[in-house]
Structure 1
Amino acid sequence: MADGTGDRAGLAAGGPSLAERFRSIVADTDEGVIILEPDGTISYTNAAAEFLLGCARSDLVGEMFGLPLAADGLRTVVDVVSDDGAPRVVELRIEPLPSGDGAAGGLVLRLRDVSDYHRDAAGARGEVRRKDEFLAMLSHELRNPLAAIRSAAHLLTRDDAGPAARREAARALDGQFRHLTRILDDLLDVSRISRGKLEVRMGRVDLCRVVRDAAAAVAPLAEARRQSLQLDVPDARLWAWGDPTRLEQAAANLLTNSVKFTPAGGRLEARVSGSGNEAELIVRDDGPGIPDDLLPHVFEPFVQGRQAVDRGQGGLGIGLALARTIVGLHGGSIQARPNDDGRGVTFAIRLPLLGVEVSPVEGDGVAAERGPAPPPLPLRILLVEDNDLVRGLLKEVLRLDGHEVSEASDGPAGLAALLDQKPDVALVDIGLPGFDGHELARRARGDERGREVRLVALTGYGMPEDVETARAAGFDVHVVKPLNYPDLCELLRGARTGPAGSGQPGDAEAACG
């Protein structure tokens, strides 16, 4: 009853008191419970409270509770070491406990383990801080190439700019395009890794060729910083089972990292060797090295050493993390260690080796730079793209190469032009107004007039499921923006080979950019 008559009757009949019944209820709960007398003396503890406080019942009962007593229901958080020796965060709340005979009641102290909550909250705060730092890094990394692009574009508008200045502007635009593409690709790869979607296409690959190509890709960056890049690759083929593109990416990331953190005029070395069933790639520099506290974390995403305000060394702190993931997917290992002379750092990749082919490799052991390939034979090309600027520029470049180009800016107009003109190739953006590129391809393949046209999907989406969607819609080739024009020329060069819409394995998986 509300007035406590029932409790008094129970006591008179020799039944259990309210406190006793309360204790029996809370004895086995996960929440810690301590009963305090009105003067603050501990009269009862359950097993959960003893565990959280790391004390036996005999050490608690009869002792005075040390915190101020205020039965206001407010929560207090304290740090404790529990019975298993683990540090924990415990939330305390004091509530009144009425007595069964109407006298002044004691207090109930409730204890709840909130360690996970506080750990998660601290982790969330850390994630927010790292996100803010990453966005600041990304902003800086994007502003530099954008500044160069703007200056180059301004230079090209000047009538008094001579041929040399125009060539330099074009070179700057191409270089910054490649730089921005690398940033975008790295960001996409980090996203793929976080979702377990990073794709590798395994096959027999020559590691010597991989390292030569990686060194050739990084050489211009080293030359710009007046650095010496020495390549030590045997005149043989070291065969491994892997994805050549991904392995080249891992090697190039190590070399790029060394270039960025080695002062101008420094020396870098890339060395490949094979022994038994293992190959080793060594990348060594004579830069300032890596601080001891940072060394164990260099392969974690977004980890970087302290840099000056101008962030002259640049980067987003993801290149080494990508290298570690790629190497792991190939059954290998990667490590970083200080050089014995105290200057610089050595990165070492070890990979399983299939075998060694000792016949000499043609050439001088250095990746040869090939000149630009001649443009493909003139084609009739339909360009379906809703972005006027992108469409206009690509149309003009294709026309300069001798192609006959028609254009459309939405799905319905693109389909009508394709069926009416029956071009050799249709370059079709996926995100179109009216209906998208996938629908355009499906309708074109469903009409006899569109079955022989070679369909090329232009899209900013490059995940494996995007390639499959394009293939299912009827596209022959899937091209990821931004377009790399030499790759597009290579694609157009083979435009008349193979039946359109054949969907043969690998056909729709070619990607430029």
Structure 2
Amino acid sequence: MALIRILLLEDSPLDDELARARLIKGGLEFVMQRVETRDEFVAELETDSYDLILADYSLPSFDGLAALEIVRERWSQIPFIFVSGGLGEEIAIESLKQGATDYVLKQRLDRLVLAVTRAIAETQERSERRRAEIALRESEERHRLILESVEDYAIITLNLDGLVSSWNKGAERVLGYQELEILGRPGAMIFTPEDTRNGTPERELSRATTQGRSEDERWHVRKGGERFWGRGTVRPLLDESGSLRGFVKVMHDMTERKRAEEALREADRRKDDFLAMLAHELRNPLSAINNAIQLARRSGRPEHLEWAKDVIGQQVRHLARLIDDLLDVSRMTRGKFQLQCKRHDLTPIIQSAIEAARPMIESRRHKLTVSNSTELATVEADATRLEQILVNLLTNAAKYTQEGGHIALIVEPAESELAITIRDDGVGIAAEMLPHVFEPFFQVEQTIDRSQGGLGIGLTLARTLAEMHGGTLIASSSGMGQGSEFRLLLPRVDATIPEVENAVCPDPPPGRTAPRVLVVDDNVDSARGMENLLTIVGYDVRIAYDGQAALEAAQAHQPEVVLLDIGLPGMDGFEVASRIRRDQRLRDALLIAVTGYGQAEDRRRSFEAGFDHHFIKPIDFDALLALLELPESAIESSPSPQNR
């Protein structure tokens, strides 16, 4: 036992000596201070710290009960033992009721050691219990505050029966139920009906019990029935003895990530399909050309040579159309596509489109009907591109209609617009596919007739061109086997109003431009690689291999973004950045440092030189694209992913 500090309230020095002797004999280590009066008693308690109070019951100017009352009011944690020679049984009982810890008769001092030891032990036990209770309350409060403040994660506790016992703010946000709605109800409510029937909730708790945790990703259900993709972990909750008392489930809504992954997989699938279709589309005309060449080599008959010439010409034109379509998509993506608009009568454009599509229509023995209820319909358009829209729509109808089908082309007024409708009785489009028909490389797989060819970009081009003319293109279908309808709406021009010289088409909807980027790197392979990567995603890129060339290229090219290697020969990247910042025409360019050094001092030097962001080699290209594609205001205020 540690050293005990004792305050003795006693007017008899002899009794003081007897008490000390008894405690020493009992093996206790202590220091004891004796006082006789009330003032001395209070002064000691106020100025020093004591573990125990021993008090005579009766003193000349101060009695033990008064001392006990003082202690009980201000120092109740200190144990108080009466040591008296004249303490009767009734008084002893009353003193215990008033808060005394124990009493010892002076005639029985042999009990003093036991009383002191027990009082100290009980006090220590109470103190430890009180500290534990305080720590527990503080811990519970911390956990409560943490649980309530976490809103991105659903944190749910379940009892042994799988019923909800707590439900944080994050659970309310993710799952939709308020805490009072869900407490006491089965946690299985958040699982899909099929998972509930299969026993998934029970297996999750069982696995957590046997393995210490259970993790999974699956569809869950919010209040109201909406499904979401959740990733969760379940752990067992144990009591002080290690026995299972419940479970805690922490879950995060991963729906957006799930959809992004599915979209990425779908994009990869379409890319693969497109490459397969492109190979198919290139091989077919090449095969026909090869056969024609072989025939021309082996036969000198005029009819064979004429046939070979026609085939080669036809197939070369087909290849040229494929390449033109691909180039058109690329130009539109990079904002490099322009229309040459003039005022035109619509009828000749429609007739030209019909003639261009006629070989496809007749080869599949379709019947085409044309209805034009407008007279001298006039449009402000690029005639070649408007014809391209109509040819794409007509050939699309011919391709996806069984042989011997019907195609209708209808021209009619629609308020301030002209409506051109192309309708077929072909394979149709499923309702779930309609929102995707204008996406690049999209084809309804179950209806594809590969022998008809196509890259899946015709409708994409048609709608984009329609929008560039200030119009719209709408697809509709009653479903598979019910045919399709594409309705092109174009602004109508009043032919009585004189044409404005150098008229232009209506501005297309805002689209992506091609930002100018300057890549500066003395490593030729690295610079060329970055140029190719940025070019294929739509940027206009220039390269420089040293500081002086970078400044000259910046003056000529006026880049919006400069990717600048720090370790250039001669003039380093810091100096180049400083000079660019001093040029009034270039001061708004986004400067991105590219370096193998990433310490705090390196970053500081970059920012002092005028760089906006600091990327460490090798560059994470996805992170770079994410930065470049941010809105301008966000780029100015957001650090790059590698600039932290």
Does the TM-score normalized on the shorter chain lie above 0.5? yes
What residue in structure 2 maps to residue 204 of structure 1? 343
Distance 1:57 1:464, change over 3 A: closer
For residues 311-358 of structure 1, what are the alpha-carbon distances to aligned partners after superposition, in whole Å with 9 as ceiling and x for unaligned?
33332333223222222222323345679xx98655432211112479
Equivalent of 2:395 in 238, 249, 256 = 256
Equivalent of 1:110 in 250, 261, 267 = 250
CA–CA distance in 1 between the matches of 2:282 and 2:289? 11
For residues 197-217 of structure 1, what are the alpha-carbon distances to aligned partners after superposition, in whole Å with 9 as ceiling and x for unaligned?
543333323322322222232
CA–CA distance in 2 between the matches of 1:464 and 1:93? 43
Tell me, yes or no, if structure 1 residue 25 matches structure 2 residue 146. Answer: yes
| SS of 2:452 mapped into structure 1 | coil
CA–CA distance in 1 between the matches of 2:383 and 2:302? 38
Distance 1:252 1:357, change over 3 A: farther
CA–CA distance in 2 between the matches of 1:14 and 1:299? 63
What residue in structure 2 maps to residue 393 of structure 1? none
CA–CA distance in 2 between the matches of 1:79 and 1:169? 60
Equivalent of 1:128 in 225, 245, 268 = 268
The Cα of 1:252 is off from its aligned counterpart by 1.0
For residues 410-451 of structure 1, what are the alpha-carbon distances to aligned partners after superposition, in whole Å with 9 as ceiling and x for unaligned?
xxxxxxxxxxxxxxxxxxxxxxxxxxxxxxxxxxxxxxxxxx
Aligned residues: 356
Tell me, yes or no, if structure 1 residue 278 matches structure 2 residue 400. Answer: no
Task: Within 5 Å, give how 1:14-413 maps onto structure 2.
Answer: 16-30=137-151, 31-35=153-157, 43-58=165-180, 60-61=182-183, 66=202, 67-68=205-206, 69-70=208-209, 72-83=212-223, 86-95=226-235, 107-158=247-298, 160-194=299-333, 198-225=337-364, 227=366, 229=368, 237-264=376-403, 268-273=407-412, 277-285=416-424, 287-288=425-426, 290-291=428-429, 293=431, 296-297=434-435, 298-305=437-444, 311-336=450-475, 345-356=484-495
Distance 1:139 1:48, change over 3 A: same
* 8 Å contact from structure 1 (residues 219, 229) kept in 2: no
Q: Which amino acid aligns with 1:180?
A: L
* 8 Å contact from structure 2 (residues 472, 488) kept in 1: yes
* Pairwise CA RMSD: 4.2
CA–CA distance in 2 between the matches of 1:14 and 1:230? 87
* 8 Å contact from structure 2 (residues 423, 485) kept in 1: yes
| SS of 2:397 mapped into structure 1 | helix
Answer 1 or 2: higher relative contact order, Cα 8 Å, separation at least 6. Answer: 1
List alignment gaps of at least 5 residues for structure 1: 1-5, 359-460, 467-471, 474-513
What residue in structure 1 maps to residue 605 of structure 2? none
Distance 1:167 1:226, change over 3 A: farther
Decide which moves more: 148-157 or 276-285: 276-285
Identity %: 35
- Which structure has the bigger radius of gyration? 2
The Cα of 1:33 is off from its aligned counterpart by 1.8
List alignment gaps of at least 5 residues for structure 2: 1-126, 188-201, 498-535, 542-555, 558-644
| SS of 1:355 mapped into structure 2 | coil
For residues 214-256 of structure 1, what are the alpha-carbon distances to aligned partners after superposition, in whole Å with 9 as ceiling and x for unaligned?
2232233344445555666699743212222221110111121
CA–CA distance in 1 between the matches of 2:227 and 2:369? 52
For residues 427-477 of structure 1, what are the alpha-carbon distances to aligned partners after superposition, in whole Å with 9 as ceiling and x for unaligned?
xxxxxxxxxxxxxxxxxxxxxxxxxxxxxxxxxx9x9979xxxxx99xxxx
* 8 Å contact from structure 2 (residues 426, 483) kept in 1: yes
The Cα of 1:98 is off from its aligned counterpart by 7.0
CA–CA distance in 1 between the matches of 2:467 and 2:456? 18
Higher helix share: 2
* 8 Å contact from structure 2 (residues 231, 252) kept in 1: yes
Decide which moves more: 343-352 or 18-27: 343-352
> TM-score with structure 2 length normalisation?
0.47
CA–CA distance in 1 between the matches of 2:279 and 2:373? 41
Q: Which amino acid aligns with 1:81?
A: V
| SS of 1:279 mapped into structure 2 | strand
